[in-house]
Structures are given as structure tokens and as C-alpha cells.
Amino acid sequence: MQSILIIDDDKDICTLVSNFLSKKGFEVATSYNGEEAIASLKKKEFDLVLCDYRLPDTNGVEMIQRIKLIQPGAAIIIITGYSDVKTAIETFKHGANDYVVKPLYPDEILITIKEALEKKEDKVKSTEGSGKSKKSGVKDDVYVDGVSPQAEVVQRHIELIAPADMSVIISGETGTGKEYVAKAIHQKSNRSEKPFVAIDCGALPKELAGSELFGHVKGAFTGALNEKQGNFELANKGTLFLDEIGNLTYENQVKLLRVLQERRIRRIGGTSDINVDVRIISATNEDLTKAVREGKFREDLYHRLNEFKIELSPLRQRKDDILFFANHFLDKANKQLNKSVSGFAPAVEERLTAYEWYGNLRELNNVVKRAVLLTTGDKISVESLPNEILNASAFRSDTIVSADAQPETGNILKSVTGIAERQAIIDVLEKTGFNKSKAAEVLKIDRKTLYNKLKAYDIKL
């Protein structure tokens, strides 16, 4: 029986979710604050932790870090309000597997839990079967192309680099699909019948990173009760995917560089070297060149990893892909929820296209899944969308038709503020090919004002 720990200071939520999951065959425990949860984690091993982002004595990021230190193998799902989704998405950098939004719906929670546990089991199976000739852990993950020009470029790059056996860095914001691209490269490579092993460097406690990467011998440190293979050994002859590579400590960067140079690893506490043949694909949502300049990331390691680079644009910069992926996620949600919703109402399509999607594809997937769950008719209506998405679309990006089609009167920025104004500026910059003079002309402001707004809204060109 799989075990779940629910952490939430709302006792009613704990009771309701606990009763529901117990009826679904899970063993469930509850805690009402962080310290109580930590005590439970030290006493019992859990397969998954369902944790509210806001707790009386701590927050989601701190809880994830402590959970990962005590139980590195536990899957973590964050509970949040939609107004905090952007914050919740940041928890993925620290090892969260997914999030659910309040108000909580039992069927949605159950699907999210099952997906997190299945992914966890797939990784275990891929490592246990690493010596076998098979597509370990990737056969059920289908890479879906987009239809935007940016998506076409990514697909061409995947086709080009897959058979070349070069190291690849995939960069992009959280939720843009970096691991799916890595799996697509592996599946199209000459190593496709060998293991694909993924490790989230952002979720690795510093104390355990060396052991996870390189393994350890029995007695190497306190708690090393048995000999353990590291991920390099498990991925031998296949592909090792290092997500959030920028989070590796300097010490482990040095060790990783040595492995890439010598193609040999040594387990922690070991005395002999082990030859490995592994292709490295790494991913980051940070600017590694900036990290190199600031001395946070080794320049020699960066060049070793960056034999080829694939950049994934955020969803808000490839509007053509939004409805394409929304329909893909609709089909997926129909199968998961045993429903037959046929599509989106025109008003919903309009709002989905106008929204910024801070969490990119992951957030779009979650919104569509919940909308399918709430839909009783043939098509998804606006009533099934979160208020934040409805409110954010008060100013639609397609108000600006083109760089040459200027508004007849007035400054188009006067009617919008905050997020909408920032998005309006970004949209015009994109439509003018990031020509600041032309953008200022379309927006009917001077260049100095535009530069001030770029700085104020942290828009980097």
C-alpha cells in the first residue's frame, strides 16, 4: 500500500482529502504544520507528500528542502491558491513534482498523485533495468511538436543533434518541456535501446549529490548501510539527463568535469575507478553564461556540456502553440477523467491565447485538466477557467494587430496597468522585431519612457 503525508493547517482539508485517499487504497497520515510533518517524516517513509505552500511555521520551498534531505525519494505535490501559482512554480527548481490549486477537487488530486507516483516508479524501473536492452523509462513519454516557428526550429535541432552523441544543454523557463526534449533526443539517438536516467540537480541535497551521481560503498558515511550505484553507472551506454545543472555545488562541478574528461567515476569511499560511457544532456532555467561570469559555475565544465545548445521559448512568446497544446492536453484529460469534452468555446480560446502562462506548458496542462473536470457540457466555457486567467485577459494581446496598424488616437498604454502593460510592451516588441524605436512609435511613447518601462518591468532584450 502506497503511503501519503498531507501537510496543511486547514484541518477540514486534511480530513476530507485523507478520507478520500484512504477510500482509494492509500495509507494516509496528516500534519498541520511543518515541524509536525518533519517529525512524521523521520518516523515513517512516505511515497508522496501533499504539502500546502503556506504553513504557519514555514513555506513550501523550505519544506521541500527538508523533505528531500530526510526522504530524497518521496514525490512532492504543492497545494496553492491560483494567485500564488507563479510562486508555486518556483518550487519545481527545488524538487516539487507538481501542484494542485485550491479549491481542491478529489478527482484532480487523485490524477495528479497517480501521475507523480507513476513517474517516480518509472525512474526506479529505469535504474533497476539499466543493464537491459530497452528504452528505460521513456517509452510512454511522447514528445509533441508545436506548430510555431520556434517549435519547428527545436524539432530540427532535435533531428540534427540526436545521432551525433554530443553533449547538449537545453535552456528554458520552468515548464517549457526540457525533459521531454531530452527524451526525444535520446529516443532518436543510437543509444535509444539503453537507459535514459534523469536526475534533478535542484532537488538534490548537497550532502547526497555526490552519492546520487557517483554512488558509494558501504560505510562511506553515516547512513551508507549498503553499497549503491550512482546515476552514471545506471546510465552506462545510455543517456544521463541532468536537470537544473546550475544548482550543482562547486565541489560536484569539479567531480562532474573530471568524469567527463576521463570517462571514469569513483564511488564515494571507493578505491577503484569504474569506466562509464554516458551521453550527457543537461537543462537549466538560468543563464549559465552569467553564472560563469559571476564565478558560480565553472567555465571549463560549461564548455564541456555546451557542445550543442537548444533554447526553448516561453509559451507567451509562441502564441501559435497555445491552442495546439491546449487541444493535446484536452485529449489527455478526457482519457484520464473518462470524459468526452469536444473542444473550447471561442471565448475560452481567446482568453487562453491572451494569458501569459507563467508556468508554461505545465500550467496550461493543469488549467485544461481542471476545466475538463468542471465542464458539464460539450465544450469548455469561461466558467471553468480560473478568475486570474479571466481577469488577465482584460487587455488582449491581439489588440495590437501589427507594427504598422497603429491606434487611431491616444496612448494604448494609458488604459492598462501592471501585468497587462508589461505584456502589451512585450507584444509590440515582438511584432516590431524588437526594434525599440518602432516599438516606442507604435506605443506612442518616447524612447526614454520605453527604456524606463523596460527597466521597471525587468524586460530583458
Predicted confidence (pLDDT) per residue in 13-35, tens digit: 999 999 999 999 999 999 999 99
Q: Distance (Å, rounded) from C-alpha 461 to C-alpha 458?
A: 10
> Domain ends where: 311, 329, 354?
311
Residues 115-163 pLDDT 10s: 999 988 876 565 554 433 333 444 445 678 899 999 999 999 999 999 9
Do residues 379 and 343 make contact, with C-beta atoms less than 8 angstroms apart? yes
Over residues 433-437, mean pLDDT: 81
> What pLDDT does residue 132 have?
38
45-59, 149-163, 406-420, 430-444: lowest mean pLDDT where? Answer: 406-420
Give the residues across from 78 on adjacent strands.
51, 99
What is the mean pLDDT of the segment spanning 438-458? 81
- Mean pLDDT to the nearest integer, 76-84: 87
pLDDT, average across residues 163-185: 95
Helix (H, G, I), strand (E, B) or coil at 80: strand
Q: What confidence score (pLDDT) does residue 396 get?
A: 44
pLDDT at 128: 52
pLDDT at 419 over 90: no
Name the grid cell of 110.
487523485
User: Per-residue pLDDT averaged across 225-231, rounded?
Assistant: 90
CATH number, domain with residue 21: 3.40.50.2300
CA 76 to chain centroid: 13
Q: Contact at 8 Å (CB) between 216 and 228?
A: yes
Q: Which of 92, 119, 146 finishes a domain? A: 119
* 229-233 long-range Cβ contacts below 8 angstroms, 24+ apart: 229/127, 230/265, 230/267, 231/127, 231/197, 231/199, 232/259, 232/265, 232/276, 232/278, 233/130, 233/265, 233/274, 233/276
Domain count, the chain: 4
Q: Per mean pLDDT, which of 160-174, 412-426, 440-454 is the most reliable?
A: 160-174
Please indicate, yes or no, whether residues 286 and 414 belong to a single structural domain of this protein: no
Supply the range of the domain harboring residue 187: 129-311
User: Both ends of the chain: CA-CA distance in Å?
Assistant: 51
Pairing status of strand 228-229 against strand 215-216:
antiparallel
Assess whether pLDDT exceeds 70 at residue 301: yes
**Do 146 and 50 share a domain, yes or no?**
no
State what percent of residues in the chain have pLDDT above 90: 65
Q: Taking all residues of the chain, what is their mean pLDDT, rounded to a whole number?
A: 86
Tell whether 461 is covered by a domain: no
Predicted local confidence at residue 137, as pLDDT: 42
Contacts of 214 (CB under 8 A, 6+ apart): 230, 232, 255, 259, 265, 266, 267, 268
Show Cβ contacts of residue 326 under 8 Å, excluding neighbours closer than 6 positions. Answer: 344, 349, 352, 364, 368
Relative to beta strand 239-243, strand 308-311 is unpaired
CA-CA distance, 6 to 52, in Å (whole number)? 8
On whether both 173 and 139 belong to a single domain, the answer is yes
Is residue 409's pLDDT more than 60? no
Residues 178 and 213 in one domain: yes
Q: Worst-scoring range by mean pLDDT, 81-90, 161-170, 336-345?
A: 81-90
pLDDT per residue over 306-327, tens digit each?
999 999 999 999 999 999 999 9
Question: How many whole angstroms separate alpha carbon 368 and alpha carbon 352?
Answer: 10
CATH number at residue 279: 3.40.50.300
| Residues 171 and 289 reside in one and the same domain | yes
